[in-house]
Amino acid sequence: MNLFVDGLGVLFLAGGLFFMLVTAIGVMRLPDVYCRAHAVGKAMTLGIILLLIGFGLLVEGAAWWKIALAIGFQVATIPVASHLFCLVAYKKKVKRWSARGWVRD
């Protein structure tokens, strides 16, 4: 049973690290402010949630309500920051990338 819980925690940690790498590749490679904000807002939230769940499964002394509070903080802050990036970029008329080329809304 303990081995099962540890293996599950290791799997969650590996998934979280994979999604953090996806975020790094997205921020480096995507062409646009909007696309980069999308990469940060989605992949990074999922990665940090998986990391915190794996942390709660692997460490005995961690209280579950504190981990739930940390996950709630991440879920409350990262997508809000991502939406604020897109809102300010849209209000300042930053050009966006599309399949036809660079467009200014």
Site residues for another protein per CB under 8 A = 6-7, 10, 13-14, 16-18, 20-21, 23-25, 27-28, 31, 33, 36-37, 40, 44, 47-48, 51-52, 54-55, 58-63, 66-67, 69-70, 73-74, 77-78, 80-81, 84-85, 88-89, 91-95, 97, 102, 104
Angle between helices 2-29 and 33-58 (to 10 degrees): 170
Nearer to another protein, 1 or 92 (CB): 92
Residue count of the chain: 105
Quick one: which of 85, 99, 100, 95 has its CA closest to 32?
95
The Cβ-side half-sphere exposure at 71, using a 13 Å CA radius, reads 16
Q: What's the min distance (Å) between Cβ of 35 and another protein?
A: 10
Contact between 96 and 34 under an 8 Å Cβ cutoff? The reply is yes
- In one-letter notation, the amino acid at residue 67 is I
Q: What's the min distance (Å) between Cβ of 1 and another protein?
A: 16
Q: What's the min distance (Å) between Cβ of 36 and another protein?
A: 5
Nearer to another protein, 1 or 36 (CB): 36
